[in-house]
Amino acid sequence: MWKRISHLAYRNEIYLYTIVDAESEKQYAYEIKKYCTEVKFYSRRSILSSLLACIRLPYPAVSRWNSQLTEDLRIDFRKINPDWVIVDFPQMIGALPENILRSQRLVLNQHNIEFLSLRSLGNGLGGWKRKIYELISKQMEHYESSIYQKIKISLFTFVSSSDKRYFENRFGKHNTFLVPVGAEIRECKIKANCHNLIFVAKMSYPANEEGAIWLVNDIMPQILEKVPDAHLYLVGKEPRETLIKVCKDKKYVEITGTVDNLKPYYEKCNLAVVPIMTGGGVNVKLLEALGQDKLVVTTSKGIEGTDFKNNIHLKVADNPNDFACDCIDILLNPTSNENMQRRQRARDIMINKYSWDGICNSFENKLKQLTNSYDD
């Protein structure tokens, strides 16, 4: 989202209205205002208020609806008269006032199929948590279906071609456009005698926490048998107590929490791992790792919605033994012909398809086409 905003800002005025999870996030206002004509922050609804409202509506949506946000949008839409109102995620449609909903100037950056993502996350859990996710997934499916039937949305964008196809078949909407997730692309030298692995993710997200625990409990012990000095960096904000306890007293794991700059951590490692088994959409962490010029081991879920293929661009394994073996091979032989060829082929795809300039130019050109069509 940040890359799209900063790119569009070169030739457009951007008015940004955003929900924040904590007051501390407002510290980024100065940086954001370099690109936006105006920025307004809003807090989530209280947990109690959200729970009362989610008897029939999905919690991930109602918890982000703020009455002041809705009122500001109603007034500002009339004053600004924007070409487009670009909304990220269907959850936020419910926060829009009637004059925007009737305007036919809506672009919904769908990202992925939200209710399927929630269902997938629930499948990776057990007990009461799984039942809650199943309920929320059903609510989200009903909520999304209602939106697409009742509201005129001019364009739906997706980050993966598979989600785009599913959406078209499921809801019969074909005014869709692919806007892949991109990544910064840089060159990085392979370090000699380096046996470090890195997994970068928001660690409080259930699919990421699940993958991190799988790495620590099932993968790393096998790696250490062959590579005794192997070291795993778990880099990302909000590691929860469950993960911290799993890693306690394990000297081969370092949990960093939030870091100011990912680059130094990527530079310490020859191998990036993306052990994702649930969730939906394109994994930004996969593209980021490949953009950092890293050799990658991931899962079938990790490459979902991308053009990357097992053995051609990276290694894919879904059981602990195979995942560990692939990691061992790369850690001990990072410059083998096979690994170097995979690395180069992955880099070629990153440059040709997942560079931010190309992605953002394509999106902006699509918006211009739509603007010209409704002006006519």
20-45 pLDDT, tens per residue? Answer: 988 888 888 888 999 999 999 999 88
Asked whether the domain spanning 196-353 has the same topology as the one spanning 2-182+356-375, the reply is: yes
Domain boundaries, the chain: 2-182+356-375, 196-353
Separation CA 348–CA 291 (nearest Å):
10
| Segment 115-128, tens digit of pLDDT | 888 888 888 777 88
**Helical H segments across 172-282, by residue range:** 206-214, 220-226, 241-247, 263-267
Amino acid residing at 251? K
As to burial, measured by CB atoms within 10 angstroms (0-12 exposed, 13-18 middle, 19+ buried), residue 328 is: buried
Phi then psi dihedrals of residue 322, to 5 deg:
-65, -40
Tens-place pLDDT, residues 35-76: 999 999 999 888 888 877 777 889 889 999 999 999 999 999
Q: What is the pTM of this model?
A: 0.72
**Residue 360 predicted with pLDDT over 80:** yes
The hierarchical CATH code for the domain 2-182+356-375 is: 3.40.50
Instruction: Tell me: pLDDT of 281 over 60.
Output: no
Q: What percent of the chain has pLDDT over 70?
A: 98
> In CATH, which superfamily holds the domain spanning 196-353?
Glycogen Phosphorylase B; (3.40.50.2000)
For residue 41, list its beta bridge partners: 18
Cβ 233 vs Cβ 196: under 8 Å: yes
d(CA 18, CA 20): 6
> In the block, which residue shows the tokens 């953009």?
291
CA-to-CA dists, residue 31 to 24, 182, 261, angstroms: 14, 21, 16
In the structure, what pLDDT confidence band is assigned to residue 295 with cuts at 50, 70 and 90? very high
pLDDT at 231: 96
Question: What gap in Å lies between CA 54 and CA 129, rounded to an integer?
Answer: 16
pLDDT in tens, 335-344: 999 999 999 9
pLDDT at 70: 96
